[in-house]
Amino acid sequence: MAEFVALDFETADYGADSACAIALVRVQHDRIIKRTYSLIRPPRSLFRFTHIHGLRWSDVADQPTFAELWPSIAQEFEGVEFVAAHNAGFDRGVLAACCAAAGVAMPDVRFECTVRLAKRTWGLKRANLAAVSEFLNIPLVHHQALSDAEACAKIVIAASGAN
């Protein structure tokens, strides 16, 4: 299998540019080779989704903005065949909005959705991350970005073995 990176964002509010956490899990030859997790200071201090992911402004107020963080994570998108994300449209949209706000180019890489992959591979009716993780016996702390990204990576790995 190709080298890929699994991506997960957590956001603070309804704005796609409000990333407050990012996780990237890089996979090569069906093995996780690197895990990256960072908190991000979003452009607004109002957190609407603390009840989902547990993050608050006080957790990220002294963290780098996406623009400040980008130079240290941009290389994770280099040399990969695709980016995997569960509900890829959401994470792709957050990445695009954050890149635009930071004035950096969006990585030119294809996105693969593990919701669609799980439905196609195993015929699952319920394919949210918790359901697929349970089906595949993947440990998950849902809405913790690194746990979500690692589960996403393991879904891709499991699907490659199922084909």
Q: pLDDT by residue (tens digit) across 133-160?
A: 999 999 999 999 999 999 999 999 999 9
**CB 25 within 8 Å of CB 19:** no
pLDDT for position 134: 97
pLDDT for position 79: 94
Domains identified in the chain and CATH numbers: 4-162 (3.30.420.10)
The answer to whether residue 163 scores a pLDDT higher than 70 is no
Q: In the Cβ-directed half-sphere of 84, how many Cα atoms lie within 13 Å?
A: 26
The answer to whether residue 1 scores a pLDDT higher than 90 is no
**CB 129 within 8 Å of CB 8:** no
Q: pLDDT by residue (tens digit) across 36-93?
A: 999 999 999 999 999 999 999 999 999 999 999 999 999 999 999 999 999 999 999 9
Q: Kindly state the average pLDDT of the residues 17-36.
A: 97
Q: In the Cβ-directed half-sphere of 78, how many Cα atoms lie within 13 Å?
A: 7
Q: pLDDT by residue (tens digit) across 102-137?
A: 999 999 999 999 999 999 999 999 999 999 999 999
Per-residue pLDDT band for 161 (boundaries 50, 70, 90) equals confident
Q: Kindly state the average pLDDT of the residues 10-20.
A: 98
